[in-house]
Amino acid sequence: MRIIAITGASGGLAQEIVKQLPAEDFVIALGRSAEKLKKCYASRPNTACYELDMTSDLAIFEMVEKLYAEHGHIDVFINNAGYGDFSEFDAYTTAQIRDMFDINTFATMTFSRLVGHKMKEAGHGHIVNIASIAGLIASAKSSVYSATKFAVIGFSNALRLELAGSKVYVTTINPGPIATTFFDKADPSGEYLKSVGRFVLQPEEVARRTVAILGKNKREVNMPLSMAAAHKFYTLFPKITDFLARRVFNYK
Ligand SMILES: NC(=O)c1ccc[n+]([C@@H]2O[C@H](COP(=O)([O-])OP(=O)(O)OC[C@H]3O[C@@H](n4cnc5c(N)ncnc54)[C@H](OP(=O)(O)O)[C@@H]3O)[C@@H](O)[C@H]2O)c1
């Protein structure tokens, strides 16, 4: 039986990932509200729900200790919690920027650091960090969100190298827009989601690609294909891509 932990477990993508896991996998569901988590997973056997304040390093440290005390080990840890806010760069307050980094980046780093250490000692494990295509390609009105996700990808790429000798794998999942409640906060007007309609992924598809690589030594999953290709183009021709991003593909 694998033990799989996931943060932001009551979110749209997380629920779909858990739904697609084999029933014999034991799921540790972490989220802001125990009540909400219990509602989401009431009918799933082999599931334990834990309420957690992801902005607190101490709470994360204590949670990791508790999980290892109660479950002995973790095979896969999925850092999934995250949110976006598609505002102009000068509309953010410092507190808003720090909060987004706390959830999207620092909590991911803290869990990866603490759980990664325990996995290294155990000589096996898999850390899966849900980043974003926004962490590979920056776009307008995505300055803070992109920065949080670029940081996650940079951190994960280094972590993968450090853990390579320990049989602990590190994967980043980098999806384009997914049809979840993410956009209720990121883009309350709904305009962005409408304008990128043809690129929008369903959570089932992102979950399927994520579940397929669990326990496998996979570097990254970039999707959809068109955005994965755009990332390669961006790496080779950043100036042209910036021009296109401003003139042609400016969806926000
Ligand atoms: N939807 C997209 O277009 C898209 C695209 C690329 C990448 N992603 C990434 O995919 C991951 C999952 O997102 P999703 O699409 O499933 O969105 P979602 O339905 O909004 O779920 C995200 C979950 O993250 C947790 N979370 C959000 N804000 C939080 C906060 N301030 N404090 C603590 N926890 C918070 C919440 O979990 P609890 O309610 O359980 O606490 C929330 O349900 C995120 O990391 C997101 O950045 C999303």
CA of 159 to the centre of ligand 1 (A): 23
Does the pLDDT value for residue 237 go beyond 80? yes
Report pLDDT for 196: 83
DSSP conformation letters of 59-74: HHHHHHHHHHHHHS--
The CA distance from 176 to 135, in Å, is 10
Nearest atom in ligand 1 to 15's CA: 16
Report pLDDT for 156: 98
Nearest atom in ligand 1 to 200's CA: 3
- Mutating to test ligand 1, I would choose from 20, 33, 180 the residue with most ligand atoms within 8 A of its C-beta, which is 180
Does the pLDDT value for residue 43 go beyond 90? yes
Report pLDDT for 104: 98
> What whole-number percentage of the chain has pLDDT above 70?
98
Average pLDDT over residues 209-233: 96
Locate 143 and state its tokens.
């300055």
Does the pLDDT value for residue 252 go beyond 70? no
Residue 151 sits at the vertex; the CA angle it makes with 145 and 152, to the nearest 5 degrees, is: 90
**Confidence band, pLDDT 50/70/90 cuts, at residue 37:** very high
The CA distance from 110 to 45, in Å, is 28
Does the pLDDT value for residue 7 go beyond 80? yes
CA of 165 to the centre of ligand 1 (A): 31
Instruction: Tell me, yes or no, if the pTM score tops 0.85.
Output: yes
**Confidence band, pLDDT 50/70/90 cuts, at residue 245:** confident
Q: Residue of the nearest CA to atom 20 in ligand 1?
A: 182
Tokens 């009105």, located at residue: 141
Per-chain mean pLDDT for the chain: 95
Q: Is the Cβ–Cβ distance between 138 and 92 less than 8 Å?
A: no
CA of 240 to the centre of ligand 1 (A): 31
Average pLDDT over residues 75-84: 98
Report pLDDT for 101: 98
Q: Residue of the nearest CA to atom 37 in ligand 1?
A: 8
Please name the residues in contact with 7: beta carbons below 8 A apart, sequence gap of 6 or more.
14, 30, 31, 52, 54, 78, 79, 80, 81, 107, 111
Report pLDDT for 193: 83
Does the pLDDT value for residue 250 go beyond 80? no
> What whole-number percentage of the chain has pLDDT above 90?
88
Nearest atom in ligand 1 to 99's CA: 31
Residues flanking ligand 1, CB < 6 Å = 8-14, 31-32, 54, 80-84, 103, 130, 132, 175, 177-178, 180-182
Backbone angles phi, psi at 92, to 5 degrees: -80, 145
Q: Is the Cβ–Cβ distance between 232 and 119 less than 8 Å?
A: no
Nearest to 96 by CA among 40, 138, 55, 45: 55
Q: Is the alpha carbon torsion for 151, 187, 79, 198 positive or negative?
A: negative
Q: Residue of the nearest CA to atom 22 in ligand 1?
A: 11
| Range with lowest mean pLDDT among 210-214, 218-222, 231-235 | 231-235
Report pLDDT for 248: 67
Q: Residue of the nearest CA to atom 21 in ligand 1?
A: 11
- Give the residue with greater pLDDT, 242 vs 38: 38
Domains in the chain: ranges and CATH:
3-249 (3.40.50.720)
Average pLDDT over residues 139-155: 96
Nearest atom in ligand 1 to 79's CA: 45
Active site residues: 145
Phi/psi zone of residue 109: left (φ > 0), alpha (ψ -120 to 50 degrees), beta? alpha
Q: Residue of the nearest CA to atom 39 in ligand 1?
A: 10
